[in-house]
Structure 1
Amino acid sequence: MTDVVRLDAVSKVYGRGQGAVAALREVSVAIPRGSFTAVMGPSGSGKSTFLHCAAGLDVPSSGSVRLGGTELTGMDETRLTELRRQRVGFVFQAFNLVPSLTVVENVVLPLRLAGARVDQAWLGEVVSRVGLDGRTGHLPAQLSGGQQQRVAIARALVTRPEVVFGDEPTGALDTMTARDVLTLLREIVDGMGQTVVMVTHDPLAASYADTVLYLADGRVVDAMTAPTADRVAERMTRLGAWV
Structure 2
Amino acid sequence: MTVSGGAHSRGMTNTEALRLDEVRKVHGADGNQVVALAGVTLSLPAGTFTAVMGPSGSGKSTLLQCAAGLERPTGGRVFVAGHEMKGDETELTKFRREHIGFVFQHFNLLPALTVLQNVTLPLRLAGRRVDEARAAEVLRAVGLGDRLSHRPQELSGGQQQRVAIARALVASPSVIFADEPTGALDTRSARAVLALLQQAVRTYGQTLVMVTHDPVAAAHADSVLFLADGRLVGRMIDPTAEAVAERLTHLGDELVRKGA
Which residue is equivalent to 1:63? 76
- Of 110, 118, 124, the residue aligned with 1:106 is 118
Q: TM-score when scaled to structure 1?
A: 0.97
2:169 and 2:200 in contact (8 A); partners too? no
Tell me the residue number matched to 2:16.
3
CA distance in 1, matches of 2:27, 2:148: 43
User: Greater shift after overlay, 106-115 or 206-215?
Assistant: 106-115
Q: Which residue identity is paired with 2:110?
A: V
2 CA distance for matches of 1:149 and 1:217? 30
Secondary structure in 2 matching 1:127: helix
Instruction: Tell me, yes or no, if structure 1 residue 228 matches structure 2 residue 240.
Output: yes
Secondary structure, aligned partner of 1:98:
coil
Number of matched residues?
A: 242
| 1:72 aligns with one of 65, 85, 89 | 85
C-alpha offsets along residues 129-173 of structure 1, whole Å, 9 cap, x if unaligned? 211111111111111100000001111111110110000000000
- Any gaps of 5 or more consecutive residues in structure 1? none
Q: Residues 160-201 of structure 1: CA distance to partner in whole angstroms, max 9, x if unpaired?
A: 101100000000001111000000000110011011000000
Letter aligned with residue 142 of structure 2 = V
- Report the alpha carbon displacement of residue 122 of structure 1 after superposing the two structures with TM: 2.3
The match for 2:101 is 89
Q: Whole-Å Cα distance in 2 between the matches of residues 188 and 113 of structure 1? A: 23
Q: Distance in 1 between matches of 2:242 and 2:126?
A: 43
Q: 1:148 aligned to 2:160?
A: yes
Identity across aligned pairs (percent)? 61
Q: What is the SS of the residue equivalent to 1:112?
A: helix
- Residue 19 (structure 1) aligned to one of 32, 43, 58: 32
Within the candidate set 165, 178, 190, 2:202 is matched to 190
1:158 aligned to 151, 170, 183, which one? 170
Question: 1:131 aligned to 2:139?
Answer: no
Establish whether residue 29 from structure 1 lines up as the match of residue 65 from structure 2.
Answer: no
* Distance in 2 of aligned mates of 1:169 and 1:4: 21
Letter in 2 for 1:206: A
Equivalent AA in structure 2 for residue 55 of structure 1: A
SS in 1 for 2:18: strand
> Unpaired runs of 5+ in structure 2?
1-13
Cα distance in structure 2, aligned partners of 1:58 and 1:177:
30
CA deviation after TM superposition for structure 1 residue 111, in Å: 1.3
Amino acid at match of 1:3: E
Give the conservation status (yes or no) of the 8 Å contact 2:85–2:95.
no
Offset from partner CA, 1:19-55 (integer Å, 9 cap, x none): 1110000100111100000000000000011001111
Matches within 5 A, 1:194-233: 194-233=206-245
Structure 1's consecutive aligned runs of 4 or more residues displaced over 4 angstroms after TM superposition are none
State the 1:76 CA deviation. Answer: 1.1
Q: 2: distance between equivalents of 1:146 and 1:61?
A: 36
In angstroms, what is the RMSD of aligned CA positions?
Answer: 1.0
Distance 1:10 1:114 in 2: 28
Distance in structure 2 (CA, Å) of the matches to 1:113 and 1:161: 14
Q: Quote the residue 2:8 is aligned against.
A: none
